[in-house]
Every structure is written in structure tokens, then in C-alpha cells.
Amino acid sequence: MNIVACVKQVPDTEAQIKVKADGTGIEEGGIKWVMNPYDEYGVEEALKLKEKLGGEVTVVSVGPARAMETIRTALAMGADKGIHIDDAALNNADAFTVASALCAAVKSLSCDVVFCGQRAIDDDSGQVGAILAELLGVPQVTMATKMELADNVAKVTKSIEGAQVVMEVQLPCVITTTKGLNEPRYASLPGIMKAKKKPVDVKTGADFGVSAELKAQVVKVLPPPARPPGKVLKADDTPEGKAAELAKALREEAKVI
């Protein structure tokens, strides 16, 4: 079984995000970079499949030089090798371009299952996995919360509003992963040592015949709209008094009940 897990390096969820004064992006100074949390579920599921069925796990990442740390993290968790597509021209690429680069990398391997996080928590686009599936010409299941594999068929569960859908999907396929699927492991110390020696191929977009011809472009980044300061309700200084004051405010001021 050959498995690919796509990973992206993103700001830690705790990171303060400051918009550049000219609105062209965010200030990257001081940010702690981590593996996208949704990608961790993909790496974990890939490793579980490998442990059960044998085979090899390749991690693929599109990103600047620092993305190598995230590839090493996946290798330390247990993945076998990596492909790092490091190309300044692809740094602010759109989903279609990134998926095209990943598609070329995946095609350079022969692969049964590709995992992607359901979205990356930086641009929050949530498109790459499905575009990749389309470009590869394979089926997809997005936002998987459960997966079992037997005889080249995966049984996958995803949740939609108010229901769980159980599907059977033929391999090869792309699965996008979300919370609930598994508990990602931490890299062990021996894992971290071993990861240093595992092979990582560094490629450019040109190596894969991909150029950044943007179809979607973020033209301006803005700070979130300011929220007016809230009110702390204190009527009577009793729970009942405060509750009554709140109900009245929601009814008469906010008009939401």
C-alpha cells in the first residue's frame, strides 16, 4: 500500500495575526509555525494503514524553506520519505495551483490513497483535496471521521448537517480528514532522531511543470471589523435580576429573540 499524506505548515492556533499596513498580507515575524491540525489526522491515518497493511508513507508539502520542519515532524511520527515543493513563485499560490503541484508529485509515485486535511487553518479555503482528486481523476471523500479499508475499497463515514453518511469508495482515492477520525500520535525521541536521516526530495514548480498562474487572488487583507465594547449586566446583583435584564436587552435592543 502506497500512501501519500499532504501537509502544510501554518501559524499555531494561538498565534496573533497582524495585518501588514499596506494590506498585502500578514506580518510573519514572531509566528510559531506548526503542522496544520487537520493534516495531523491524515498523517496518523496513513501511518495506521501502513501498520496494518504494510507499504510506504510519503509526505508531500508545498511551502517555503521552513515547511521542511513540518515534513520532518511527519517523518518523526513515522512517515518514510518526503517531497518538498519549495518555490517562491508558489508561496501565495491559489488552491488550483497548489493542487496541480501536489498532483504532479503524487503522479511521480504510484499511490493508493492520498490524505489531505479538510482545510488549512491559514487561508481556510478547504479546496485543495477535492481539486487534487479531480486532477488525479479519482474519487474523493471529504471531511472523513471514520475509515476502514479492505480489498481496495474504503468504507468512510463523514458527517453532514444532522446526519452521518457512510460511503464505499474505490481506491485509488483522496480522503480529506477532520477531527474525530483518530488521535494523532506525538513524535517520539527515537522518531525524531530517525527522521533526520529519512530522504526528502526538494523540488521546484518547474520540476513538475507547474507555474503560478493565479485563478483566485487575495487582493487585500483586512483586520476584522471592530466590535463595539460589550455590556456586563448587573441588575439587582442577583442571577434572576441579571437574567431578566439580559432577556429584555435581547428582545428590545438586539431584537434577536
Partner 1 sequence: MGNGVFFVAEQRDGALRKVSFELASTARKLADALGVEACGIICGSGVSGLAADLGKYGADKVFVVDNAALEPYTTSAHTQAVATVAKDNGAVILLLAASAQGKDLSARLVGKLATGMASDCTEVRIDGGKLVATRPMYSGKCFGEVVIAGSPQMASLRPNVFTAVESGKAGAVTSVNVAIEPGKVKVLEVVKEASGKVDVTEANVIVSGGRGMKDAAGFAVLEELAGVLGGAVGASRAAVDAGWRAQSDQVGQTGKVVSPNLYIACGISGAIQHLAGMSSSKYIVAVNKDAEAPIFARADYGIVDDLFKVVPALTAECKKLVG
Ligand X SMILES: Cc1cc2nc3c(=O)[nH]c(=O)nc-3n(C[C@H](O)[C@H](O)[C@H](O)COP(=O)(O)OP(=O)(O)OC[C@H]3O[C@@H](n4cnc5c(N)ncnc54)[C@H](O)[C@@H]3O)c2cc1C
Residues 84-123 that bind ligand X (CB under 6 A): none
Residue selected from 65, 88, 206, 247 as contacting partner 1 according to rule CB under 8 A: 247
Q: How far apart are CA 51 and CA 24, in angstroms?
A: 44
Give the residue carrying C-alpha cell 508529485: 105
Which residues is 144 bridged to in the sheet? 158, 177
Query: Which is nearest to 172 in space by CA: 136, 144, 142, 146?
Result: 136
99: partner contacted, choices ligand X, partner 1, none (Cβ within 5-8 A by kind): partner 1
Would you count residue 24 as binding ligand X (CB under 6 A)? no
Residues whose CB is less than 8 angstroms from the CB of residue 224 and which lie 6 or more positions away in sequence, other chains included? none
| Residue-level length of the chain | 257
Would you count residue 37 as binding ligand X (CB under 6 A)? yes
Q: What is the Cα 227 distance to its own chain's centre? A: 29
134: partner contacted, choices partner 1, ligand X, none (Cβ within 5-8 A by kind): partner 1
x-marked contacts with partner 1 along 19-58 as a string, rule CB under 8 A: x------x----------xx--------------------
Would you count residue 139 as binding ligand X (CB under 6 A)? no
Q: Over the Cα atoms of the chain, what is R_g? A: 22
Q: How far apart are CA 170 and CA 55, in angstroms?
A: 18
In the complex, minimum distance from the CB of residue 114 to partner 1, in angstroms, rounded to a whole number: 14
C-alpha cell at 162: 444532522
Neighbours of 164 (CB within 10 A): 10
Would you count residue 238 as binding ligand X (CB under 6 A)? no
Q: How far apart are CA 90 and CA 211, in angstroms?
A: 8
In the complex, minimum distance from the CB of residue 103 to partner 1, in angstroms, rounded to a whole number: 9
In the complex, minimum distance from the CB of residue 44 to ligand X, in angstroms, rounded to a whole number: 14
Q: Which CB atom, from 65 or from 218, has the smaller least distance to partner 1?
A: 218
Of residues 174-233, those binding partner 1 (CB under 8 A): 178-180, 214-225, 227-228, 230-233
Q: How far apart are CA 151 and CA 204, in angstroms?
A: 36
Of residues 48-107, those binding partner 1 (CB under 8 A): 94-96, 99
Residue selected from 56, 69, 134, 201 as contacting partner 1 according to rule CB under 8 A: 134
Residues that bind ligand X (CB under 6 A): 13, 37
